[in-house]
Amino acid sequence: MFDLRIQEIPMPANDKHRNNLVAWIIDTLCLHRRRDENAADDGSFSPIHRILSEHLFNNPTKGYETRELAEDLGLTPAAIHHHFVRLVSAGLVSTSSGKGWKTYYLTGGSIAKAIENMKTRAGLIHSQRLELLNSEWNRGKNIEMKIELPPDGKPSASLRIKEWGPLEDGESELSRFMADCGLLGERPGKEINSDSISERLFRLMLKSGPPISIDEATKAVGGSKPRVGRILERFRLTGLVERVARTDRLSTALWSAMTTQFSRRGEDWMLKKGGFERLSVPVSILKSLKKNICTPETIEKALKDMEPKNQMLLLNLLGGRLPLGHRLVGQDLPVMKKKSMEDLNRILRRIEKVGVLIKSNSIKNQ
């Protein structure tokens, strides 16, 4: 079964050092745990590195048996088999059975063809898996906020592409999809069960237009705030969810900043350094602040004719901050699918480029 895990990692700084290139491939394909950056070696002595560098990439047209490599690497055939299983599921290696032991070989007999096979299968399977959202997407139309700001940072993508398989006990189609796309992390555990907190939270996002705060999510799906926060951040790693400023809460943020600064610094500061004179803020807001009757609704009504960008500038001058919320990427399902495919293809293009560099380095060393 095709099962590929990939993580977005910057291109290797030294693209002429073959060991660095192979190590980058291993890290990008999550073929073993990331090495400690303070480690004494560059990972070139690890079994998976030696299997790729000294054997598969060095002699791509040759087939290998686990017992043959076990003797060379000083490991058991079972340990070698474990590494080959990961390479086969990633689409880089194929296997054939003869009269004796299984033979493993680089798919297509070359680095380029092996990576091309992986790229083609990954793109097709990911596209097919995203089709499940056709029946689950229920966010409605016109879900864009009046003021749209860029996402609050974008973590390096961490994706899983796994082909469909029959459901097991306790799973639903959506929970299996979440596991197969990496939304449940590396080891889903009980979160893959139907009606888990992770599944309820993702269903909530599939029908919610505006961003959802951690407080709102916790109230809706249960669990603790730290746990819900960790789940949302895990969703972000897949590129299907983004964290954005809650500009739909702009009036509330302005009210909080105004009342705080008025009580601390007074009317004169509000007029000059607070931006009231500069941005021609209606005097009715100051009057309501003096009478202690100012509310978010009061501010929203008074500033209805002020351009959104000036409202954002006012909030900045007052030292206020907008709360953050999480939502699904894209204003509609086609946009979300397109962005997810772009994340996948961006990483696969890097893998292709590194594959070319490894091949050219191998030719030079011959």
Task: Point out the domain boundary residue: 188, 219, 240.
Answer: 240
Both 272 and 309 in one domain: the answer is: yes
Same domain as 96, residue 212? no
* pLDDT confidence of residue 99: 65
Same domain, 254 and 226: no
Q: In this structure, are residues 136 and 206 in contact, taking their beta carbons and an 8 Å threshold?
A: yes
**What is the extent of the structural domain holding 231?**
153-240
> Does residue 12 fall inside a structural domain?
yes
Q: Please tell me the pTM assigned to this model.
A: 0.85
Lowest mean pLDDT among 121-130, 137-146, 160-169: 137-146
Q: Is the pLDDT of residue 18 over 90?
A: no
Q: Decide if pLDDT at 30 tops 80.
A: yes
Give the residue from 240, 267, 300 where a domain finishes: 240
Question: Is 328 inside any structural domain?
Answer: no
Indicate whether 259 and 211 sit together in one domain. Answer: no
The per-residue pLDDT for 349 is 95
Residues 17 and 121 in one domain: yes
Range with the poorest average pLDDT among 62-76, 203-217, 261-275, 331-345: 62-76
Mean pLDDT, to the nearest integer, of 326-352? 93
- The answer to whether residue 39 scores a pLDDT higher than 80 is no
Question: Beta strands of the chain (E only): which ranges?
Answer: 3-7, 93-97, 102-106, 158-162, 241-245, 324-328
Domain boundary among 240, 260, 275: 240
337 belongs to a structural domain: no
> In this predicted structure, what is the pLDDT of residue 331?
86
Structure tokens at 347: 């990483």
**pLDDT for residue 38 is more than 60:** no
Total number of domains constituting the chain: 3
For all residues of the chain together, what is the average pLDDT?
Answer: 89
Q: Do residue 69 and residue 184 come from a single domain?
A: no
pLDDT of residue 140 exceeding 90, the answer is no
38 and 119 assigned to the same domain: yes
Torsion angle, CA of 259/260/266/270, rounded to 10 degrees? -70
More confident residue, 362 or 25: 25
- Which CATH number characterizes residue 45's domain? 1.10.10.10
- pLDDT surpassing 90 at residue 66: no
Q: Return the percent helix, strand and coil in the chain, to nearest 5.
A: 55, 10, 40
**Model confidence at 230: pLDDT above 60:** yes
Closest CA to 54 of 63, 68, 40, 44: 44
User: Residue 134 domain-assigned?
Assistant: no
Residue 40 has pLDDT above 50, yes or no: no
Residue 204 sits in the same domain as residue 312: no
219, 225, 227, 229 alpha-carbon torsion, rounded to 10°: 100
* 82-89 mean pLDDT: 92
Distance CA 280, CA 302 (A): 11
The pLDDT score that the predictor gives to residue 42 is 55
CB 308 within 8 A of CB 147: yes
Q: Which one has a higher pLDDT value, 1 or 37?
A: 1
For the ranges 82-86, 113-117, 140-144, 282-286, which has the lowest average pLDDT?
A: 140-144
| First-to-final CA distance of the chain | 35
Question: Looking at the structure, do residues 10 and 111 belong to the same domain, yes or no?
Answer: yes
State whether residue 45 is helix, strand or coil: coil
Residue 9 lies in a domain: yes
Which neighbouring-strand residues pair with 104?
64, 95
With contact defined as beta carbons under 8 Å apart, do 236 and 212 qualify? no
pLDDT at 16: 75
- Mean predicted confidence (pLDDT) in 36-52: 69
Same domain? For 191 and 168 the reply is: yes
From the number of C-beta atoms within 10 Å of its C-beta (0-12, 13-18, 19+), residue 181 rates as buried
pLDDT winner (highest mean) among 5-19, 25-39, 209-223 = 209-223
**Is 327 within the bounds of a domain?**
no
Q: What percent of the chain has pLDDT over 70?
A: 94
Q: How do residues 340-351 score in pLDDT, each as one tens digit?
A: 999 999 999 999
Phi, psi of 158, deg, nearest 5: -135, 105
pLDDT at 73: 86
Same domain, 60 and 123: yes
Give 32's pLDDT tier (boundaries 50, 70, 90): confident
Residue at 345: amino acid letter: N
> What number of other Cβ atoms are within 10 A of residue 6's Cβ?
24
Is 323 contained in some domain?
no
Residue 356, pLDDT score: 92
Average pLDDT over residues 172-176: 95
**Residue percentage of the chain with pLDDT more than 90:** 67
Residue 189 belongs to a domain: yes
Residue 34 has pLDDT above 70, yes or no: no
Helix (H) or strand (E) holding 235: helix 225-237
State pLDDT tens for residues 270-289.
Answer: 999 999 999 999 999 999 99
Same domain, yes or no: 96 and 185: no
